[in-house]
Structures are given as structure tokens and as C-alpha cells.
Amino acid sequence: MIRIREAILVEGRYDVHTIKQVVDTIVLETGGFRIFKDKEQLTLLRRVAQRRGLIILTDSDGAGFVIRGYLKGALPADRIKQAYIPDIAGKERRKRHVSKEGKLGVEGMTPAILIQALHRAGATFIDQPQNEQPGSIPVTKQDLYAWGLSGRTDSAVRRVALLAQLGLPQHMSANALLDCINACDMREEIETMLYGD
């Protein structure tokens, strides 16, 4: 089992169960939209974030992004990391019907996908060597504009296509994409996708 330093926050108890089978760390849940009214849980999340760091790992549907957006404003920005699962069509085994958007949630992801999402978020893996290579030049909002991924009439379409190539959810905003690119040091990968070798 892989150990990481940060705690992980997911939406529900089935997500908790799935993550605990893959990663050895504290796993907390929002209870879905209950987090909007649960002040005690929010206090706990702030404390955990301050002490060990917190990785937010919600489903890639619209509801997951609403929860993620709320938490981004409610928790200390320098102590949280964002992990994203890809948009994968399907239905979890325990459910009778597909979700509203027809996508698998955290509980439907394979261990390999979950570990990749944590790596992309910049999780601190214990007992594994960290990549010590210097990072590339950080990507800015001006870069996103120059690449046609924000601020233009077709930017949303281009961004969704790039997100699909990267295996990231289509609901990611330009700002979320920017954070992900810089957290994962993906400048060269993006430029290769956009312009080729």
C-alpha cells in the first residue's frame, strides 16, 4: 500500500472505502453537499489542512466541481492540493443507474488512475524518492491565452479537447487547468500536444 503525507478529502463513504484500499493516509468525506452547512467538519478540514496538507479529490461531474469550488474558498489555499480523476463514462457496480452525467465517480476508478491523480496533484509519497529535477518555467494566464485555451471565442472547445487528451475532467476551468499544469510541471507536455515536436 502506498503512503502519502497529506490527508485526502472525498465526497462520500464509498469513495473513502475505495481510497483506503489504495493509499495509507487519513481519508475524510464531505458528505456531499452537507459540507456547505457542517461547520464542525469544515473546522476539522482546516485543522487537518494546516497540520498535514489536504488533497481534494471529488468526482469529475458538476456537483463535484461545486463542492471543490466551495472548499477552495473555505480552506487555506497554500495547504490544499487538487487531484482530478478523468471523465470516464460508466456506472459503479453498486448503483442501479448511471449518474446524471453518466460518469464514473471516485469509487469507480481503478487504483492506477487514483495513484496517477495523486501524482498529478503533487502528493508527497512517503518512502518513495521524490523527483528532484528542477521544474520548467511556470505557465501563466498569458500562456493559456497564447495557446488559445482562454480568452478567445473557441477557447472552451480547445480546452475541453486538451483536457480529454490529458485525461482530465471537462469541467475544469482555465484557472484549475493552470493550477494543474504548474503542479505537475506539464508545460513541455502541453506544448508538444499543441504544436508537436
pLDDT band of residue 121 (cuts 50, 70, 90) is very high
What sign has the CA pseudo-torsion 35, 39, 41, 44?
positive
| CA–CA distances in Å: residue 176 to residues 54, 63, 152 | 16, 16, 17
- What cell was used for 102? 453518466
pLDDT in tens, 138-178: 888 999 999 999 999 999 999 988 888 887 788 878 887 88
The whole-model pTM stands at 0.75
Angle at 160 between CA 163 and CA 151, to 5 degrees: 110
Q: Percentage of the chain with pLDDT > 70?
A: 94
Q: How far apart, in whole angstroms, are the C-alpha atoms of residue 197 and residue 184?
A: 20
The number of CA neighbours under 13 Å toward the Cβ of 187 is 12
- Cα-based torsion angle of the residue sequence 164, 165, 167, 172 in order, rounded to the nearest 10 degrees: -50
| CA 95 – CA 189 distance, rounded (Å) | 37
Given a cut of 90, is residue 137 above it in pLDDT?
no
Calculate the alpha carbon distances from 77 to 18, 46, 49 in Å. Answer: 26, 10, 9
When mean pLDDT is compared over 52-61, 168-177, 186-195, the highest value belongs to 52-61
51 burial level (CB within 10 Å; 0-12, 13-18, 19+): exposed
Residue 133 binned pLDDT confidence (cut-offs 50, 70, 90) = very low
The arithmetic mean of pLDDT across residues 58-77, rounded, is: 93
Chain position carrying cell 499543441: 194
pLDDT value of position 196: 76
Reference 175, options 134, 143, 135; nearest CA is: 143
Condensed to tens digits (0 to 9), the pLDDT of residues 5-25 reads: 999 999 999 999 999 999 999
d(CA 77, CA 12): 23
